[in-house]
Amino acid sequence: MLVLPIALALAAPAPDWRASASDGVTARVAATAEGLRLEYDFAAVSGYAVARRDLPRDWPANFVLRLKVRGSGAVNDLQIKFTDAEGKNVWWVQRRNFRPSAAWQTIEIRPRDIAFAWGPNADKTLRRTAAMEIVLVRGRDGGAGQLEIAEPVFTPLPPPAPLPPPRASDGRALDAPRTIAGPLTIDFGGPRELGGVMLRWGQRFAPRYTIAESDDGRRWRTVRTVTAGDGGEDPLALPELETRYLRLTAPGRPALASIAVMPPAWGATPNAMIGALAKTAPRGTYPRGFTEQSYWTLVASDGGAVSGLIGEDGAIEVAKGGFSLEPFVVADGKRLSWADVTPEQTLRDGYLPIPRVHWSGDGWTLDTTLVADQSAPRLLARWRLTNTGDRPRSLRLALGVRPFQVNPAAQFLSQQGGVSPISRIAWADGRLAVTTLPAIAGDPSVTRTLYPLAAPGRVATRAFDQGALVPADGGALMVDDPVQLAAATLDWQATLAPGETLDIPIAIGAPASDRAAFAAAEQATAGYWQRRLGAVTITAPPAKQAVADTLKTALAHILMSREGPALKPGTRSYDRSWIRDGAMMGDTLLRLGQPAPVRAFADWYATKLFANGKVPCCVDARGPDPVPENDSQGEYIHLVTQLYRYTGDRAALARAWPGLDAARRYMEAQRQSERNAANLAPARRHLYGLMPPSISHEGYSAEAQYSLWDDFWALTGYKDAAFAAAVLGKPERATIAAQRDEFAADIHAAIAASVKRFGIDFIPGATSLGDFDATSTTMALDPADEGARLDPELLGNTFARQYDRVMARTAPGAAWADYTPYELRNVSALVRLGQPGRANDLLDAYMADRRPAAWNGWAEVVGRDPREIRFIGDMPHAWVASDFIRAALDLFAYVRPGEDAIVLAGGLDASWLAGKGAAIEGLRTPYGRVSLAARAQDGALIVDLSGDARPPGGFIIDWPFAGTPGTALVDGVRRRPSGKQLRLPAGAAQIVWRPA
């Protein structure tokens, strides 16, 4: 069959290509003799530069598209995108960390290379497009430069013909044993994609051999060289290889038991190969995360200068993306791993961010503890191996230095989990240096060093080709591994008397002078966190102690997840700073008496605002992100206004005013863009006057929607802007107040129209969908304070439905897949709706999904099957931590802004009030501090109230018991309730409220 290349007409005239760019980025397209030139400048922001042209095309099932590119500039990401007629469905090819060269580079794109990026299509296959884009996305370096693209050549290809079974040159089947007497060639009968080969050696193995490939059987290219093999199985990844012939050359007539040719997916990435190997290896050979869902927690300094992880099974990740230390115990000649014990997790004092993993074996225990030194750039790891038997015992601790993160392979986004390359390991002068080659050519390598305070009895390093993935005896003190999967084992062996402990401390990143200094640093860090987390404390009945402990741990998780001033939801998958997350974390930090991190975050984020008033949804090392998320403006305004409410710093509010008001004006332009005649039509009335569609709500990432999440945050922004204008005496205050009121009216009208259009009896998550999302609706209650204006029946139905959904998940055998613990906000919603019993039911359900429970943290996603592998985000997730803090604090006290009042004990049901009851000390509010103790006694509610809070609207307490309340004694003065609500004057100290 004759295949003719078809060239796309990409050359002059230049108007075929159109340039565009995100906020703060400049782009220009010019025609060249070869095709086009895209000139760009990322300045100081994140974003993208685009060259776009129409490309209406039906794509065949098989083709090749060749693009030649050259240019100048630094390392960024190159994307080739294809979109449909509406621009909603996008397919792409990504080249991350792309550095253009002065010489032409050819990029070949085949159907297998094109991935569905996003869109509502159920069919993800590329079939028809309307446009093509060449996109440079701000990567590691940014900067200015240019990219030339020669005219792409599109060649349709016939469907791939079935290939005959591969043939070996010695005539034997690939899975048959053979002696290698000379070069062994495999002929696939035509070009074949493969991911690698698996060689299984016989008794005579080849320590040195090469693998080469050829398209024609004459010209050969070496694709893999092994110089120190040790027999057994040799998995050899050959990613992105398409060839007709493979040739194995091994001197010395070795015996080969079998050859297996592996499919492309097997060798596509190191994670793919290791995951495939783990599935067939004995359990415990590889970390749990390659074969089943694993869990972990963060161990970092306050501010995140030092950041490690510890897994539920006791492995330690030494830095972001770094290698791990995995313990093994050798007892009675048997090597024991996590799979041979039931690991137990604890935190020091039940709440400090100093985790421990305990193994209990037959006559022995092993405890692994990790501390992030608050005063030095290092982690402090300790292993204690104890003889718990009644006779002396010879035991060995083997620490594997392994090319794996604790963050497992299923986790991605900002950082891919799983394999962590190790190119060199060297033991010298009592320390172990572990080196990773740079991911981008020209960058420096990274070396991290371990400093054991007890010299190991033996150190063995191994390359991957020597079976490096399990601890083994023997090996050199240094190894270089060309495939960057080196490993090492450090061994300590001792004969321990009954009750005696082998104690192995290791400093990671910086040395400790001796054991005493190591122990002093551990203790000092514990003392630091005790003080840092002690500003607000909850005293709880034993059944609720986990809530009190988790409150403090959650605060630590927020503080540890920071990077300098940047509040972040995570340190691996979510290693970026969102204004959304930061504003909500800021609320909880202020309530917990931690204004300094909030001030630092607000001041830092203020430097990232776009000139037009747009607030970037997030910021990372590349700069502010231009993706439009229409909740961002309201969140920034709320952040800086809350700081004033809690600190009274009027000068800081005045400094923030220009950015605050620019964000409000940008938001006003957005709002007005939807107050148009088209949206006044009956079929679109549910869209009128709202924020434009966006993807700020992750559930709408496939297609932007009119999300009420955006609208309630925007309304909060208008309310807070009006408040700030009044505080500062700004002339705009009347205008802003009018905009606020008009917007609120439009929101409520759109809700009513959406309820009618979709025939629903609840408040929708997006008025454009009529979908259910009570977690979004919580924003209407706090911070938007719109509960009183919402239809009470719709509001009640919304949270009744959410309650039923959560309770149904707790039933045995319930059919659900996963959920996000952002749902914790529903606890606060039910407290505000006067349903403390239901609020505590939800809280108990969510508390049960901490994994592991003793580490007091949640991932972003909770799955029904704890061991089903899925993306779960960071553990812990600091935004989720803030949602928990909000829920826990609201049980004791929350502000009702419209009344300038504080509601007390609104979530304390009988389970909290029994016995000695519950108390909170030092809770901050915009009106001062509140301390509260409440208990039930002989059917009465006893409340002791202290602190300097003086809310203008006083305090409010709702009757928490069944039956009718009677008169209360407030500091000895009788007060009658209004129904089941009692109002107290500011300054009240003791309340005794009895039933009628």
Residues 834 and 915 reside in one and the same domain = no
pLDDT, tens only, 312-348: 999 999 999 999 999 999 999 999 999 999 999 999 9
Confidence (pLDDT) at 6: 45
- Mean pLDDT, range 411-423, rounded to an integer: 96
Report the run of H or E that residue 921 belongs to, with start and end. Answer: strand 918-925
Confidence (pLDDT) at 161: 85
Confidence (pLDDT) at 471: 58
Confidence (pLDDT) at 472: 61
- Mean pLDDT, range 287-308, rounded to an integer: 98
Q: pLDDT band at residue 440, thresholds of 50, 70 and 90?
A: confident
**Last residue of some domain: 843, 876, 893?**
893
Residue 15, pLDDT above cutoff 90:
no
Alpha helix segments (H runs only) across 759-863: 774-781, 792-809, 825-832, 836-847
Residues 507 and 362 reside in one and the same domain = yes
* CA-to-CA separations, 835 to 116, 448, 825, 940, 959, in angstroms, rounded: 45, 53, 14, 19, 11
Residues 525 and 548 reside in one and the same domain = no
Residue 410 backbone phi and psi in degrees, to 5: -75, -10
Residue 151, pLDDT above cutoff 90:
no
- Mean pLDDT, range 369-377, rounded to an integer: 97
**Last residue of some domain: 531, 548, 578?**
531
Closest Cα partner for 581 from 541, 631, 642? Answer: 631
Residues 190 and 91 reside in one and the same domain = no
Are the beta carbons of 821 and 846 closer than 8 angstroms? yes
Residues 171 and 223 reside in one and the same domain = yes
Q: pLDDT band at residue 473, thresholds of 50, 70 and 90?
A: low
Residues 773 and 682 reside in one and the same domain = yes
Write the CATH number for 924: 2.60.420
Number of domains in the chain: 5
Write the CATH number for 547: 1.50.10.10
430 in any annotated domain: yes
Pairwise CA distance, residues 824 & 815, whole Å: 21
Residues 668 and 813 reside in one and the same domain = yes
Confidence (pLDDT) at 799: 98
pTM of this prediction?
A: 0.96
Write the CATH number for 402: 2.70.98.40
Closest Cα partner for 854 from 315, 381, 349, 123? Answer: 349
Cα separation of the two ends of the chain? 95
Pairwise CA distance, residues 509 & 402, whole Å: 17
pLDDT, tens only, 479-521: 999 999 999 999 999 999 999 999 999 999 999 999 999 999 9
Residues 658 and 614 reside in one and the same domain = yes
Confidence (pLDDT) at 468: 64
Name the residue type at position 482: P
**Last residue of some domain: 893, 918, 950?**
893
Write the CATH number for 242: 2.60.120.260
DSSP string, 142-163: --EEEEEEE--EEEE-PPPPPP
Domain span holding position 382: 288-531
Residues 552 and 484 reside in one and the same domain = no
Residues 142 and 182 reside in one and the same domain = no
- Mean pLDDT, range 420-438, rounded to an integer: 96
Question: Hey, is 912 helix, strand or coil?
Answer: helix
Residue 597, pLDDT above cutoff 50:
yes
- Mean pLDDT, range 622-638, rounded to an integer: 96
Read off the tokens for 490.
């450090």
Question: Hey, is 372 helix, strand or coil?
Answer: strand
Write the CATH number for 87: 2.60.120.430
pLDDT, tens only, 237-274: 999 899 999 999 999 999 999 999 999 999 999 999 99
Confidence (pLDDT) at 807: 97
Pairwise CA distance, residues 846 & 828, whole Å: 13
Residue 980 backbone phi and psi in degrees, to 5: -105, 20
235 in any annotated domain: yes
Confidence (pLDDT) at 698: 83
Residue 288, pLDDT above cutoff 90:
yes
343 in any annotated domain: yes
Are the beta carbons of 69 and 100 closer than 8 angstroms? yes
Are the beta carbons of 645 and 655 closer than 8 angstroms? no
Task: Provide the β-strand partners of residue 624.
Answer: 619
147 in any annotated domain: yes
274 in any annotated domain: no
Residue 978, pLDDT above cutoff 70:
yes
Residues 220 and 96 reside in one and the same domain = no
CB atoms within 10 A of CB 237: 22
30 in any annotated domain: yes
Confidence (pLDDT) at 442: 77
Pairwise CA distance, residues 860 & 820, whole Å: 6
Residues 550 and 638 reside in one and the same domain = yes
Are the beta carbons of 900 and 833 closer than 8 angstroms? no
Average pLDDT, the chain: 95
Question: Hey, is 9 helix, strand or coil?
Answer: coil
**% of the chain with per-residue pLDDT over 70:** 98
Q: pLDDT band at residue 438, thresholds of 50, 70 and 90?
A: confident
Q: pLDDT band at residue 439, thresholds of 50, 70 and 90?
A: confident
pLDDT, tens only, 796-839: 999 999 999 999 999 998 999 999 999 999 999 999 999 999 99
**% of the chain with per-residue pLDDT over 90:** 94
- Mean pLDDT, range 188-216, rounded to an integer: 96
